Structure 1
Amino acid sequence: MTAAAQPAGSGLPPEPVIANLMRVRGIQRVPSPRLTLFVQRGFLPPDLCAAICGLIDSNRRPSTVSDPNGDDAFRTSETCDLSPDDPIVIEVEARIAALTGLDPQYGEPIQGQRYAVGQQFKAHTDFFDVDGVDYERYTSVAGNRTWTVMIYLNEPKAGGATRFKEIDKIVPPETGKLLAWNNRLADGGLNGATLHAGMKVRAGTKYVITKWFRERPWGW
């Protein structure tokens, strides 16, 4: 058993979220001064992961990027916007809130991603670049992203790891494993060291879900 998470609002400042994650039995904090990254194995049970994979398969579409860079191979996965009214999604939302203390009203709807053999998402950050073409479009309502929570739903036969390039950390996919990281620096600025990539799947299929939190309540 772990202590109840303390309210952490939007994740700004990050200290309440960090305190909540540190209280979790078995959680690992990656030892790097450059970014705040946590890894928790077995966060979701296999049956719940399998159910979410089914939801993704039923309503997937080609993934997109906020600022296209002309590289058609930059992000080649498929995406599914999971319904916040689905009982399975409601359960996952509740588990994330209980773990982190992050207020769900600051969160984007959970998104699922599916990677077939050869598909990838090259090195990128989750926050919106202030110099990006569509910065105002994506941040005008809820602000920029604060925390990312990503969960692997299965283990492909080969490949599909997440690489944090700036700290040379590679996290292999494992059913139910959660990653949580702060997209900000201690002073609130955007942290470029969160640069990460979804490496190519070499055999099998990879499924993940991602929950992003914002500076202000989600209002789209």
Structure 2
Amino acid sequence: MRDYEVQPQHVTPEVQAWVRAQAALGHTAPTILKALRKAGWLADVAREVLAATLQTPSGVPVPRPAIGAALRLDAGDRQVDVLMQMSQPHIVVFGNLLSDEECDALMQAARPRLSRSLTVAVKTGGEELNDDRTSRGMFFTRGENELVNRIEARIARLLDWPLENGEGLQVLQYLPGAEYKPHHDYFDPAEPGTASILARGGQRVGTLILYLGEPEAGGATVFPDIGLEVMPQRGHAVFFSYDQPHASTLTLHGGAPVLAGEKWVATKWLREREFT
């Protein structure tokens, strides 16, 4: 059998011109990415093509932990493992960010305050029920108690992002069948309610999902545009950032349906400025 040399793939002006033409025709970034993959482009190169072509540098700083080649990061009161990272989109999977005792304490404190989860009402800037999101949840105010304050300080140190730029910690419970269909966490500038949302601290620029309770099956955090699934292991977390409110950031994500047991997570959204 003859061995064939794999030819390197590079971002060229020709493929960038093709990407721009597809975008001009109204095709979305995920659709263009799928077309590139179908044409034989490697996943990481296809993502690089989109990033280099569609993303306009925003100049907006985003949380980006200084990992380098480190296996662990100092989060102040705890050493946190770095289990996986990728650059485009910027995603990091952390291990042992929370202890078992902290996971239990957050769930116990949250349970009496749970109600059907809401989503941001982009038309008005308020909140609304959404069939795409079937979890139950609640919000802690920032620094509400010693436990929340300790975890928020750890997150701020780990992600190198000001504590005051974080929204309140949200705890969610997913029972069997519950899910959150793929969505973006940034606020769409084209929606009429966005201006009032941004007045409280600017755009969201990063998301940290902490896993508090493992389901028996299902419940992965999925990134459909890049074919990534992060399994909900207790005490671990997945982080991703996005420097502009655009699908080309490839941060479309969702919570796959829980097939058995319960999944508990805590979500921390990070803003450009102080969140009030």
Coarse TM-score class (shorter-chain normalised)? 0.7 to 0.9
Instruction: Tell me the secondary structure at the aligned position of residue 208 of structure 1.
Output: strand
Q: Distance in 2 between matches of 1:175 and 1:22?
A: 24
1:18/1:38 CA distance change after superposition, 3 Å: same
Structure 1, residues 101-125: CA drift from partner, whole Å, max 9, x if none?
2101111111111111111110101
Within the candidate set 224, 249, 254, 1:165 is matched to 224
Instruction: Tell me the secondary structure at the aligned position of residue 18 of structure 1.
Output: coil
Q: CA deviation at 1:32?
A: 5.3
TM-score, L = length of structure 2: 0.68
Aligned to 1:3: none
- Equivalent pairs, count: 203
Q: Distance in 2 between matches of 1:117 and 1:157?
A: 10
Q: Distance in 1 between matches of 2:99 and 2:91?
A: 22
Q: Distance in 1 between matches of 2:150 and 2:174?
A: 24
User: Is 1:65 the counterpart of 2:119 in the alignment?
Assistant: yes
Instruction: Name the Cα RMSD after superposition.
Output: 2.3
Within the candidate set 10, 13, 19, 2:61 is matched to 13
Aligned to 2:137: 79
Trace 1:87-106 onto structure 2 (pairs within 5 A): 87-106=146-165
Instruction: Tell me the secondary structure at the aligned position of residue 209 of structure 1.
Output: strand
User: Is 1:30 the counterpart of 2:75 in the alignment?
Assistant: no
- By relative contact order (CA 8 Å, sep 6+), the higher-ranking structure is 1
For the 8 Å contact 1:21–1:99, the answer to whether it is kept is no
More helix by proportion, 1 or 2?
Answer: 2
Aligned to 2:245: 190
Q: CA deviation at 1:21?
A: 7.7
Query: AA paired with 1:149?
Result: L
- Over 3 Å off, 4+ runs: 20-24, 28-32, 67-72
Q: Distance in 1 between matches of 2:130 and 2:82?
A: 37
Within the candidate set 43, 49, 53, 2:107 is matched to 53
Instruction: Tell me the secondary structure at the aligned position of residue 152 of structure 2.
Output: helix
Q: Distance in 2 between matches of 1:73 and 1:55?
A: 26
Trace 1:71-150 onto structure 2 (pairs within 5 A): 72-83=130-141, 84-150=143-209
Q: Distance in 2 between matches of 1:129 and 1:93?
A: 27
Q: Distance in 1 between matches of 2:241 and 2:253?
A: 13
Aligned to 1:6: none
Instruction: Tell me the secondary structure at the aligned position of residue 64 of structure 2.
Output: helix
Q: Distance in 2 between matches of 1:57 and 1:21?
A: 38
User: Is 1:208 the counterpart of 2:208 in the alignment?
Assistant: no
Instruction: Tell me the secondary structure at the aligned position of residue 93 of structure 1.
Output: helix
Q: CA deviation at 1:150?
A: 1.2
Q: Distance in 1 between matches of 2:239 and 2:246?
A: 14
TM-score, L = length of structure 1: 0.84
For the 8 Å contact 2:211–2:232, the answer to whether it is kept is yes
For the 8 Å contact 1:162–1:198, the answer to whether it is kept is yes
- Could you tell me which runs of 5 or more consecutive residues in structure 1 were left unpaired when the two chains were aligned: 1-10
Query: Share of identical aligned residues, percent?
Result: 31
Instruction: Tell me the secondary structure at the aligned position of residue 166 of structure 1.
Output: coil
Aligned to 2:274: 217
- Could you tell me which runs of 5 or more consecutive residues in structure 2 were left unpaired when the two chains were aligned: 1-58, 73-80
1:142/1:68 CA distance change after superposition, 3 Å: closer
Q: CA deviation at 1:218?
A: 1.0
Instruction: Tell me the secondary structure at the aligned position of residue 132 of structure 1.
Output: coil
Query: AA paired with 1:162?
Result: T
Aligned to 1:43: 97
